[in-house]
Amino acid sequence: MPVTPAPSPRFAAVIVAAGKGLRARQSVPKQFAPWRGKSVVRHAVEALSAAGAGPVVVAIPEGADDIARGALGGCAVRLVTGGMTRQESVSAALESLADDAPSLVLVHDAARPDCPATVIDRLLTALQFDPGAIPVLPVVDSLVRAEGERMAGSARREELRRVQTPQAFRYADILAAHRDWPGEPDAGDDAQVLRAAGGEVALVTGDERLAKLTFAEDFVDRTDTPPPPPVRV
């Protein structure tokens, strides 16, 4: 019987898990901490793998192989050593994919454990037209400029969006953009890196479930908290 070749993976994934998680104040870097039954990074890896990502590269802190392997269980991933900044971690992971030369890549924060497949579909669709696509949400609160503890001005929230990950790119374009980045200042995210190199970035609708675990209170799982009893009058 003829062997049908497996369909080629639709996209590679880079998951950055090389931070220290200082603001989260967990006993281990937050991406390796437990969250709803498994580690935060494992949630992120499984979400992208289930959506068809391959290969999946995870950037981890230097010397953290054992804790990372423990946190990832049997997940099929490649580990690379990240850098001092998020951008350096992304660059290291992108470079490690050079031989694979995937056509598309998603770059995702390990600290975002939930990733709806609907967002990935929107991102990949947008890449048919632009070299980059990112999930964003509207700003609902009004915004001010601050100088220390004093209000120094305001900003028009209608022009602004909250940016999430995963961010999606044509691999050759984001790799070239990272190589071109001058190094300073540190880029906030990869969409900035692509845009600085002249690449257009499409905005697609994000999802509140993509929220990043950042502070210690984010690790208090409110889904485990029963609703308060009804008030009797």
- Does 39 bind ligand CTP (CB under 6 A)? Our answer is no
User: Measured between alpha carbons, how far is 16 from 1 in angstroms, rounded to an integer?
Assistant: 42
- Closest CB 28 distance from ligand CTP, rounded Å: 11
Q: Half-sphere exposure (CA, 13 Å, Cβ side) for 199?
A: 29
Residue 86 or 122: the one with the smaller Cβ distance to ligand CTP is: 86
The single residue among 16, 72, 92, 191 that binds ligand CTP, judged by CB under 6 A, is 16
Contact segment (CB under 6 A) with ligand CTP among 15-23, 114-122, 139-147, 203-211 equals 15-23
Q: Are strands 11-16 and 132-138 parallel, antiparallel or unpaired?
A: unpaired
- Does 78 bind ligand CTP (CB under 6 A)? Our answer is no
CA distances from 32 to 70, 92, 159, 171, 215 (A): 9, 20, 36, 27, 14
Cα separation of the two ends of the chain: 74
Q: What are phi and psi of 162, to 5 degrees?
A: -85, 130
Contact segment (CB under 6 A) with ligand CTP among 105-113, 129-137, 174-182, 225-233 equals 105-113
Residue 62 or 200: the one with the smaller Cβ distance to ligand CTP is: 62
- Does 92 bind ligand CTP (CB under 6 A)? Our answer is no
Binding region for ligand CTP (CB under 6 A): 16-24, 31, 59, 82-86, 89, 109-111, 212, 214
